[in-house]
Amino acid sequence: MPRILFLVCCLLAGPALAGQARVDGIRIWAAPDNTRLVFDVSEPVAHSLLILKNPHRVVVDIDAAKLIPDPTQPGKDDGLLQRVRAAARNGDDLRVVLDLNRQVRPKSFLLRPNEQYGHRLVIDLHDAEQSPARKVTASSVQIHSGPRDVVIAIDAGHGGEDPGAIGKRGTREKNITLALARRLAARIDREPGMRAVLIRDGDYYISLRKRIRKAREARADLFISIHADAFTKRSVKGSSVFVLSQRGASSEMARLIAKRENEADLIGGVSLDDKDDLLARVLIDLQQSVTYEGSVRFARESLRELGRINTLHKKHVEKAGFAVLKAPDIPSVLVETAFISNPQEERRLNDTAFQERLTAALMKGILRYFDQVAPVNTRFAQRRHVIRRGDTLSEIATTYNVPVDNLRVANNLRTDTIRIGQVLRIP
Ligand SMILES: [Zn+2]
């Protein structure tokens, strides 16, 4: 006989008691450490969760609700959820049984309607064996013998329940940002001394705070959030690069874009207890000016490179209050790669050749930024030489024990003339 562990919660909402609610469908979003089920419900529903063992299951009882004919099933790559079963219970109620591969900590909450969806009941299944404490330990155990890699956190905006902006031809921002993030990460990983960390690597939602937390856990030296914006006027186009402003937006458009991006948590769905104090005001206020300077420096480098391959929406770095840029200790920028609402740019964003040009431009910006600021204890910095007064190419070659010819090739040098401040890559 299955043993009932405990009753997790029971949310009561008035309207469901009056008539019968409908569950019109279920969407399932599998992330590496959690699976989210989103029930489209016709009204806020009263429900309760039961955790069962042997085998592991979560039972969702929804009061006064109608059966879903054919509930969506999880994909094969879902590590937690095995199967979804639904049946009527006590005549008017609905019971949904979630068969699991392992023990989970479930959490549920209701989401209000938005542009795309109506009322929703969200069930989050968190891997019980991956406790937060253990995760922190795992990522902080980094035994270093010698210099480390420069780490760049690439954040693909939106995901899962939050599609982001949607183009006229149906392009979803969340898919474009993920494609671009993966391309950029591949470029970074090809560069010796550099390593990319993908904050999101699949179609699921991560809260804005958790994105920052993941970057900090990875000890990122730079955080790049990738987006593609939309505006009501379809003629608006071009790339822009943003840094965080605590004081207010640099333009009305910047304010609108920040508002839109910050609403992702409402659309993607974040339960109240996710709002932890990691980023307490105090930390934000203590934000080092060096972090801000780094953000602006990288923003300028990347904007210049983007200007070579696309129209710029604004010629200068913009500032606005983006929640995802609020890491107090990691230089962070948000790149609006193009306007998905502009038909021409929507087409380009879907074009793999353009995606390559875009990520190549960002990569150039990354290299130029780290040429200037890579921490001395990184392999990357140790592969760079900044020319000082009196340096000659042959002396540098001797110092690093590389043939002069290799030095010329690695730096595209046609002559042996070098200037003070120039950065040479040491092959
Ligand atoms: Zn966005």
| pLDDT greater than 90 at residue 91 | no
DSSP string covering 172-183: BHHHHHHHHHHH
Task: Confirm if 22 and 39 have CB atoms less than 8 A apart.
Answer: no
CA of 258 to the centre of ligand 1 (A): 9
Kindly report, residue by residue over 192-227, the tens digit of the pLDDT: 899 999 999 999 999 988 898 899 899 999 999 999
The chain-wide mean pLDDT, for the chain, equals 85
CA of 203 to the centre of ligand 1 (A): 14
| Average pLDDT of the segment spanning 323-352 | 91
- Count helices and strands in the chain by DSSP H and E runs: 13, 18
CA of 228 to the centre of ligand 1 (A): 6
Confidence of residue 38 (pLDDT cuts 50, 70, 90): very high
Which domains, from first to last, does the chain contain? Answer: 3-127 (2.60.40.3500), 144-373 (3.40.630.40), 383-425 (3.10.350.10)
Task: Give pLDDT, residue 15.
Answer: 45
Higher-pLDDT residue of 374 and 349 is 349
CA of 407 to the centre of ligand 1 (A): 41
Task: Give pLDDT, residue 144.
Answer: 55
Kindly report, residue by residue over 97-156, the tens digit of the pLDDT: 999 999 999 999 888 887 788 999 999 999 988 755 444 444 444 455 678 999 999 999
Task: Give pLDDT, residue 289.
Answer: 65
CA of 324 to the centre of ligand 1 (A): 11
CA quadruple 252, 232, 156, 329: dihedral, nearest 10: 10
Distance CA 296, CA 345 (A): 26
CA of 332 to the centre of ligand 1 (A): 15
Task: Give pLDDT, residue 6.
Answer: 47
DSSP string covering 36-69: EEEEEESS---EEEEEEETTTEEEEEETTEEPPS
| pLDDT greater than 80 at residue 252 | no
Q: Give the residue among 24, 145, 174, 156 at the shortest CA–CA distance from 86.
A: 24
CA of 74 to the centre of ligand 1 (A): 27
CA of 291 to the centre of ligand 1 (A): 23
CA of 96 to the centre of ligand 1 (A): 34
CA of 10 to the centre of ligand 1 (A): 34
